[in-house]
């Protein structure tokens, strides 16, 4: 039997992409991937235009970014199925830069942003996303669902009133017949998306909803807001363009703060989306590769007149739920978007915004973690607080700030709880010495409490501190040990420290102390067995 030409082409195309082992491509899978990509591309158009207006740049700047960032990350990103493009989280940071210095500085900033993201990938900083607690992830998902929902409300305002830097939908709210027609079309789109999978999976439900509602609007010539009311999307191929900014230190000082913020926001949103898509598609890893892909995409975009971007959770959810599981869907979405700009703008501009709003409302319903309320009933009060906090900050500020706040608050709570766990069991040896068996971690939070465990004045001449059930975690812990040794030295008492790790022993040796070893010392990193005697540390092997 001859090899399937579709499968052969897919394997040949994907064999050059690091870390991706494509499934056996059949005509059915190709159809699903391509139709999923088409659905995503249709949803990308109004989003890219809207975010371009928010950033204060021409709509094509947003569309070019959606095309280039989407294409490059689809080719070399860390998670097949993810969709990237121009995003609102980045646009709200860009607006101040564009307003004060102009769009050329934005392009230079996007290039530097990309370089920083590449460096983050090279140094494997993406793995720190593992430090994000589950409560923060819940807050991130729910907050983003609310943000997506609120962003769609602008489509219920009179279109054609947008100005760069002020967003879309700045006019009056729709009312009367136009509002009821808009709502009816949104509900119809949502109903098609909900009901169609119960009948057939031949065509992605979101695409079917868009097509059916668009045909109704065009066929009946209904007077409802359409994509063309936002902006004309026709244009040519993006051209290579070196940002026209002075190549000096002053320029670097201007763009560096913005580049750092944009790089951080882009990576946080991308890596959290990567985790979410990974949970839905049962895939793991790829964080560092995703950082590099986002960096390459933004660097290239900055040289081709795009506003940069990152992963888009809404479009990623559309893709995954439409059946997109390989890189084909993301590549197709980017190429479809480019074809809209080059050839099909008159047709795409006729698509009613109500259909796209209906699709995004279904994304909101699918994205929001409805089990949050059940989880909050059985989880700790603090975890519930963190989830609510991250949700609120995501809505009120932005995703990056919300995640950072959530992680910091969770880390402080963890440190506080562990700081109270330091304790010691004390008993006297037959030789008359006193042994303190330290329980719990010794770190900056528990260092003060550690010193309070000991009765230096009333202890016998020999004191043994056993760390077998503890763990010395940082420099504050080492300092606390040295301070304790000094106190016993000042009253001419001998202190012996047992079961400290080799690296802690090495650090203490740097202070000129003689340190002894024990065969049963722990092998964790940072913090062996040494004695403190009158005026010196006595040791031997």
Let me know whether 306 and 428 are in one domain: no
Can you give the residue range of the structural domain that contains 449? 423-532
Write down which residue in 353, 387, 409 finishes a domain: 353
* Nearest partner of 353 among 49, 25, 20, judged by Cα: 49
Between the two ends of the chain, the Cα-to-Cα distance in Å is 73
Residues 498-514 pLDDT 10s:
877 776 766 655 654 43
Residue 268 sits at the vertex; the CA angle it makes with 267 and 270, to the nearest 5 degrees, is: 60
**Tokens standing for 440?**
């719990």
What domain count does the chain have? Answer: 2
Let me know whether 431 and 298 are in one domain: no
Residues 61-101 pLDDT 10s:
999 999 999 999 999 999 999 999 998 889 888 988 999 99
Let me know whether 436 and 341 are in one domain: no
Q: Is residue 95 part of a domain?
A: yes
Q: Is residue 376 part of a domain?
A: no
**Tokens standing for 308?**
């940069």
- SS3 of residue 4 by DSSP: coil
Element (H, E) at 259: helix 249-281
Residue 130 to residues 125, 271, 275, 285, 387: CA-CA distances in angstroms? 10, 10, 9, 11, 17
Write down which residue in 353, 382, 399 finishes a domain: 353
How would you write 428-443 as a 3-class SS string? Answer: ECCCCCEEEEEEEEEC
**Tokens standing for 135?**
């409560």
Q: Is residue 417 part of a domain?
A: no
Write down which residue in 329, 353, 377 finishes a domain: 353
User: Distance between CA 387 and CA 382 in Å, rounded?
Assistant: 9
For residue 505, the model assigns a pLDDT of: 64
CB 530 within 8 A of CB 539: yes
Let me know whether 250 and 136 are in one domain: yes
* Nearest partner of 275 among 133, 405, 459, judged by Cα: 133
Residues 240-296 pLDDT 10s:
999 999 999 999 999 999 999 999 989 998 998 998 888 888 887 789 999 999 999
Q: Is residue 453 part of a domain?
A: yes
Let me know whether 344 and 469 are in one domain: no
Let me know whether 321 and 455 are in one domain: no
Residue ranges of the alpha helices (H) in 368-516?
A: 372-378, 381-396, 399-419, 447-451, 475-490, 502-509
Let me know whether 349 and 486 are in one domain: no
**Tokens standing for 492?**
């001419």
User: Which residues of the chain carry a pLDDT beneath 70?
Assistant: 1-23, 159-171, 503, 505-541
CATH of the domain at 489: 3.30.750.24
510's CB contacts (< 8 A; 6+ apart) are: none
Q: Is residue 214 part of a domain?
A: no
Torsion of CA 412, 413, 419, 425, to 10 degrees: -160
For residue 12, the model assigns a pLDDT of: 39
Query: Partners of 438 in the beta sheet?
Result: 424
Beta strands in 75-141 (DSSP E): 84-85
Let me know whether 342 and 476 are in one domain: no
């Amino acid at each position: 039997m001859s090899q399937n030409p579709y499968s052969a082409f897919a394997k040949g195309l994907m064999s050059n992409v690091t870390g991706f082992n494509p499934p056996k491509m059949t005509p059915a899978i190709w159809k699903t991937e391509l139709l999923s990509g088409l659905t995503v591309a249709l949803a990308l158009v109004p989003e890219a235009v809207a975010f371009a207006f928010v950033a204060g740049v021409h709509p094509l700047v947003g569309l070019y970014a959606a095309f280039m960032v989407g294409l490059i990350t689809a080719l070399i990103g860390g998670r097949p199925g993810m969709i990237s493009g121009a995003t609102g989280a980045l646009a709200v940071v860009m607006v101040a830069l564009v307003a004060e210095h102009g769009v050329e500085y934005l392009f230079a900033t996007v290039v530097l942003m990309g370089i920083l993201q590449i460096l983050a990938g090279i140094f494997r900083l993406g793995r720190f996303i593992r430090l994000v607690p589950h409560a923060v992830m819940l807050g991130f998902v729910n907050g983003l669902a609310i943000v997506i929902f609120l962003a769609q409300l602008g489509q219920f305002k009179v279109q054609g009133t947008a100005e760069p830097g002020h967003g879309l939908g700045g006019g009056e709210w729709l009312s009367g017949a136009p509002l009821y027609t808009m709502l009816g079309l949104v509900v119809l789109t949502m109903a098609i998306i909900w009901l169609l999978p119960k009948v057939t999976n031949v065509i992605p439900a979101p695409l079917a909803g868009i097509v059916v509602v668009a045909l109704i609007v065009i066929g009946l010539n209904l007077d409802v807001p359409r994509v063309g009311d936002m902006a004309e999307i026709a244009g040519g191929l993006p051209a290579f363009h070196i940002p026209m900014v002075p190549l000096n230190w002053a320029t670097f000082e201007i763009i560096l703060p913005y580049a750092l913020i944009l790089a951080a926001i882009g990576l946080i949103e991308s890596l959290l989306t990567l985790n979410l898509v990974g949970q839905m598609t049962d895939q793991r890893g790829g964080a560092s590769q995703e950082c590099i892909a986002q960096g390459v995409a933004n660097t290239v975009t900055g040289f081709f007149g795009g506003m940069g971007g990152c992963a888009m959770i809404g479009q990623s959810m559309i893709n995954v739920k439409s059946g997109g599981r390989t890189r084909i869907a993301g590549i197709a979405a980017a190429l479809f978007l480019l074809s809209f700009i080059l050839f099909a703008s008159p047709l795409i501009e006729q698509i009613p915004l109500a259909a796209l709003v209906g699709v995004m409302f279904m994304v909101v319903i699918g994205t929001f973690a409805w089990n949050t309320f059940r989880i909050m009933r059985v989880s700790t009060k603090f975890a519930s607080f963190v989830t609510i906090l991250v949700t609120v900050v995501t809505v009120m500020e932005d995703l990056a700030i919300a995640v950072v706040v959530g992680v910091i608050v969770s880390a402080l709570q963890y440190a506080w709880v562990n700081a109270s766990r330091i304790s010691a069991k004390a008993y006297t040896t037959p030789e008359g010495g006193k042994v303190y068996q330290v329980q719990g971690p010794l770190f900056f939070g528990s260092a003060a409490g550690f010193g309070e465990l000991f009765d230096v004045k009333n202890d016998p001449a020999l004191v043994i501190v056993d760390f077998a059930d503890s763990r010395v975690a940082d420099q504050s812990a080492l300092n606390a040990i040295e301070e304790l040794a000094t106190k016993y030295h000042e009253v001419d008492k001998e202190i012996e420290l047992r079961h400290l790790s080799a690296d802690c022993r090495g650090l203490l040796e740097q202070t000129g102390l003689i340190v002894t070893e024990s065969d049963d010392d722990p092998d964790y990193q940072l913090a062996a067995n040494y004695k403190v005697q009158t005026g010196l540390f006595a040791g031997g092997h």
